[in-house]
A = this chain, B = another copy of it.
């Protein structure tokens, strides 16, 4: 039924080894022979069986990608970066959603390794002990993208979340605010608890502003959470006049909450976001935001992985991509 390398060999009057050579671009084939084989391949519509090839060569040219949720723009952006570079290096991608659930992450790792992927790119907002152990047992390289492993034992690609957050809050402080709130996603995510909030505290301390725990809110990373955060925060005796939002959706929720309350942004209320997705330009006022270069993070992570799979020497396993703040109109 399906045509195999054997059929091609027979039709072309050569051995299967020769066919294999032309298919794999091996130079040790006489041009005339190559031509003949190529013709038969075309005529028979021969298509190499990658599974057989994988079994024989122990390489599948496919990498696994484990991300929390592809329908979330942040991860989709990274996935695109990963896929683009993968394609460039002729790898295919097995993509799966973990929903940030440890059991799923563990299972996915296992089934991907079972499928003999040549490497894995992993995004996880909380690299737990167990995950860490499983990753340690992997026979193929794994790189973390936009995910912090506190032990710093795995190759990873990130920006300096702490520094970026610090700069964001300092911008608000520089504009004269004393009552500054921070609204982030789940505390279970390392980036929120260890970096955004810690940086926020440091920025305030450095400016001798007393830290008011009531101004620190961590819930979801969503628009509705932003709306809710505004609700509760605006009811405080001394409500905040500026906000550091952990994501664009959060920032937009905060802004709409403020506007629905008759407050002007940025005249009365200033908001700085952390993400800079395309949403940032789709609100009025447009968001001033720390730019989190997800596409680049994904792309660089995949590139790092190709090197690792290729057993190239890596200078530094923890790469930090530069960040910057995109100035728009939610901050004066």
A residues in contact (CB < 8 Å) with B: 2, 45, 47-52, 54-55, 60, 62, 69-73, 76-77, 79-80, 83-84, 87, 92-97, 110-116, 137, 139, 223, 249, 252, 256, 259, 278-279, 281-284, 295
Contacts and interface: CB of A to CB of B under 8 A. Distances in A.
A70 B79 contact: yes
Give the dominant DSSP class at A's interface: helix
A49 B51 CA distance: 11
16 contacts: A49-B55, A49-B114, A50-B115, A51-B60, A55-B55, A71-B79, A71-B80, A76-B76, A83-B95, A87-B97, A92-B96, A92-B111, A92-B115, A93-B95, A223-B282, A252-B282
Contacts of A112: 92
A54, A71, A113, A223: most-surrounded residue (chain B CB, <10 A): A71
Given A51-B55, A114-B48, A87 B76 contact: no
Contacts of A283: 282-283
The oligomer's copy count stands at 2
A69 B252 CA distance: 25
Contact of A70 (B49, B54, B69, B76): B76
A49, A80, A92: most-surrounded residue (chain B CB, <10 A): A92
Chain A to chain B: the 5 pairs with minimum beta-carbon distance, closest first: A71-B80, A95-B95, A76-B76, A50-B115, A51-B54
Contacts of A259: 284
A57 to B, nearest CB: 10
Given A51-B115, A282-B252, A70 B83 contact: yes
Contacts of A55: 49, 51-52, 55
Nearest to A97: B83
A79 B256 CA distance: 30
A284 B114 CA distance: 49
A2 B284 contact: no
A292 to B, nearest CB: 14
Contacts of A60: 51
A138 to B, nearest CB: 11
B2 A139 contact: yes
A282 B284 contact: no
Contacts of A116: 49-51
